[in-house]
Amino acid sequence: MQLEDLAGIDEIEKEALEHLEKTIIYFKGRPVGTVAALDGSVDALNYDQCFVRDFVSSALFFLIKGETEIVRNFLEETLKLQPKNNQLDAYKPGQGLMPASFKVVSKNGEEYLEADFGEHAIARVTPVDSCLWWLIILRAYVVATKDYSLVYQPEFQKGIDLILELCLATRFDMYPTLLVPDGACMIDRRLGIYGHPLEIQSLFYAALRAAREMLICHGNQDWVIAIDNRLPILRAHIRKHYWIDLKRLNAIYRYKGEEYGKEAVNEFNVYVDSLPYNEIAKWLPKKGGYLAGNVGPSQMDTRFFSLGNLMAIICDLASEEQSEAIMNLVEKRWEDLVGDMPMKITFPALENEEYKIITGCDPKNIAWSYHNGGNWPVLMWMLAAASIKTNKICIAERAIHIAQSRLQEDEWPEYYDGKRGRFIGKQSRKYQTWTITGLLLAKEMIKEPSHLSLLNFEPFTPESDSRACEFEIDSFDA
């Protein structure tokens, strides 16, 4: 595996690249992923495995560097781990799921990959985000390599098909959003995000758009119709019901409750007193806004979640005005959302009784630590991508400057604690791979903003996509 010539890059990048080399996992002699962390000072637990979500920043970085083989191998091997049959066994992973992580096991001189779908993870959490990220990485691979032959293979078409079935077929609720359990994404511990969390919805939107581009239309008309139906209503739902700015907060403040039928204004019957509206009104700048963390029956989680908001900007789920308002909020509330380490995973933290009830007294998720208001350097690449998308590159430059001054000296921690992210996290791993690639990727994106195309989509119109579909059939048949 050859990363670029180390000449011409700064000392920090050089060290980061050297570490990244060491994190690569080989299976039968081929590179297939990167471990989550290489911290020799603590028990590895499952950090010696390749997590699908953690590999995203590695994959994008490798693609940018022309190291496409590892990404292709990763996609092929994880596809083999995806359950292809409905096993009708509550203890077995459902058809179409992608694992949270995998590792190489050697037995009797033979190597094989062992997947974890959450059954070994703390609290047995379901990795819903894995299959969504997998589609996003697959599409980025195609954008980078122009190699459609990989996705047109029947196994890949089948893999896409199974993920779509998992997300779009039979279900209980009638929202355009995806209903998921708590801890189903990067926040893989109980944090009150069950229901329709923003992070999953942003990834769902991007994954559907990716699938729409890669699915051979011929024979998949039902999926194409299902995606074309779902995308606009999902987008409209998020833009309308998740949006919070001063104007909308005022509308919510004047909501009536218990409205019945189609004419209801307060469609989800959110009781105003359940929201800290005075605090939010004080915190929101006049030109700022953000997408709420979750919207469901009598529920509006007003916490700011970075991953969901940034990915909504990157993949065009948020409107142009909303994207600008979100970035404006980041600038105006810099101390709260970025502070001394880009960037906070969620704001504000749950404290006191709320912390106890919502996290179940999780000692790792005390206020302003870990998922509950900790700062995660990996989020920097998304901040960089969102900055490019909104023409505010100075935000990314400022964030990179802050991070660079600490990450190397602190030995690349997984996360930071405290209101401003001043402390290395209480139980933070060192030499965390996505911290390393988070910085490397952010820097690459700023150097060459056109790399955003790996994740970016053209504004969606069903007409333009159905034309693409006809073309696809032609080119495929030829």
Contacts with ligand GLC, residue ranges (CB under 6 A): 36, 51, 53-54, 186, 188
Query: Based on CB atoms, which residue is closest to ligand GLC, 51 or 460?
Result: 51
Comparing CA positions, the residue from 123, 301, 132, 274 lying closest to residue 200 is 132
Q: At its nearest, how many Å lie between ligand GLC and the CB of residue 54?
A: 5
**Buried/exposed 418-454: b ≥16 CB within 10 Å, e otherwise:** bbbbebbbeebbbbbbbbbbbbbbbbbbbeebebbeb
Q: At its nearest, how many Å lie between ligand GLC and the CB of residue 146?
A: 30
Q: At its nearest, how many Å lie between ligand GLC and the CB of residue 417?
A: 14
Query: Based on CB atoms, which residue is closest to ligand GLC, 151 or 193?
Result: 193
Q: At its nearest, how many Å lie between ligand GLC and the CB of residue 358?
A: 16
**Beta strands 24-27 and 30-34: pairing type?**
antiparallel
Pair 374, 344: CB distance under 8 Å: yes
Query: Based on CB atoms, which residue is closest to ligand GLC, 224 or 345?
Result: 345
Pair 268, 175: CB distance under 8 Å: no
Pair 134, 53: CB distance under 8 Å: no
Q: How is residue 365 annotated by DSSP?
A: G
Contacts of 213 (CB under 8 A, 6+ apart): 139, 142, 468
Pair 385, 452: CB distance under 8 Å: yes
Q: At its nearest, how many Å lie between ligand GLC and the CB of residue 434?
A: 6
Q: At its nearest, how many Å lie between ligand GLC and the CB of residue 269?
A: 32
**Residues across the chain:** 478
Please give the full DSSP string across 240-295, using - where no structure is assigned.
HHSEE-HHHHHHHHT--S---STT-SSTT---GGGS-HHHHHHHS-TT--EE-SEE
Query: Based on CB atoms, which residue is closest to ligand GLC, 54 or 77?
Result: 54
Comparing CA positions, the residue from 37, 67, 56, 10 lying closest to residue 382 is 56
Query: Based on CB atoms, which residue is closest to ligand GLC, 43 or 463?
Result: 43
Query: Based on CB atoms, which residue is closest to ligand GLC, 54 or 116?
Result: 54
Q: At its nearest, how many Å lie between ligand GLC and the CB of residue 47?
A: 6
Pair 245, 325: CB distance under 8 Å: yes
Query: Based on CB atoms, which residue is closest to ligand GLC, 322 or 428?
Result: 428
Q: At its nearest, how many Å lie between ligand GLC and the CB of residue 189?
A: 7
- The CB-nearest residue to ligand GLC is 36
Query: Based on CB atoms, which residue is closest to ligand GLC, 54 or 465?
Result: 54
